[in-house]
Amino acid sequence: MDLPDTIRKRLDYFSRSVLFDQSQTQPVTKENDTFLPHDKRVLSSLSLQMSLYFNMWFFPLWWISETVMLHLKYPALPDYYKFILVAVLILMTLIEAIRVFLGYTGNIQEKVPELAGFWLLTILLQFPLIMFQLFNEAILIQPLERGVHIVLAIFILTQALSGFVALRDMVRHAESQFHVRQLTEF
């Protein structure tokens, strides 16, 4: 059941003038009720964005605790684990900065390449590195380390799952827009 035209026009005017910026909306008509190439649906993932936001604030705490714990247990570690743990800390710090930037950019601006890069860095690099630090008992894991590693692993796992869903939705939307453009060109 459709709304009467007068009520529809008043609601449209109210939503454009009071609730939203007029440059971002278009009048509601029967023609653009269906999917059109100028579809302005928001495809960003709120759960991914929230996870990235909290991760951005948690990561410095993780880094400080990891650095302090590494400093405390450094003399007791074998030489090869000293090198590996320092390399992992540096690598994770660099990857995390790039990964969070790509995640923010890809999700907020709905850019598929950035979001795909974020997802690949998460799955292929960050997740295995945090699992190494969480489950390798030979590196003398301290209770504080175990706690912060678990929290970071939960963030990374959440971001991998919600990033996959957001990426899938964005790719499907881009694909459908491509097909609609192909049909309207003929």
Same domain, 11 and 84: no
Does 112 map to a domain?
yes
Question: pLDDT over 70 for what percent of the chain?
Answer: 79
Distance of alpha carbon 128 from alpha carbon 145, whole angstroms: 16
Query: Cα separations (Å) of 159 from 50, 62, 108, 162?
Result: 9, 17, 14, 5
Same domain, 21 and 106: no
Same domain, 75 and 18: no
Does 183 map to a domain?
no
Residue 31 per-residue DSSP state? T
Distance of alpha carbon 129 from alpha carbon 146, whole angstroms: 14
Same domain, 132 and 55: yes
Same domain, 75 and 155: yes
Q: Please compute the mean of the pLDDT values over residues 165-186 and round it to a whole number.
A: 84
Residue ranges making up the domain that contains 17? 1-29
- Checking if the pLDDT of 93 tops 60, the result is yes
pLDDT at 117: 94
Q: Please, what is the average pLDDT of the chain?
A: 84
Task: Tally the domains of the chain.
Answer: 2
Of the ranges 11-20, 27-36, 51-60, the best mean pLDDT one: 51-60
Half-sphere exposure of 110 (CA within 13 A, CB side): 13
Same domain, 62 and 148: yes
Same domain, 24 and 83: no
Same domain, 62 and 116: yes
Query: Cα separations (Å) of 88 from 28, 85, 129, 132, 139?
Result: 54, 5, 7, 9, 12
- Checking if the pLDDT of 150 tops 60, the result is yes
pLDDT confidence of 174, banded at 50, 70, 90? confident
pLDDT at 23: 44
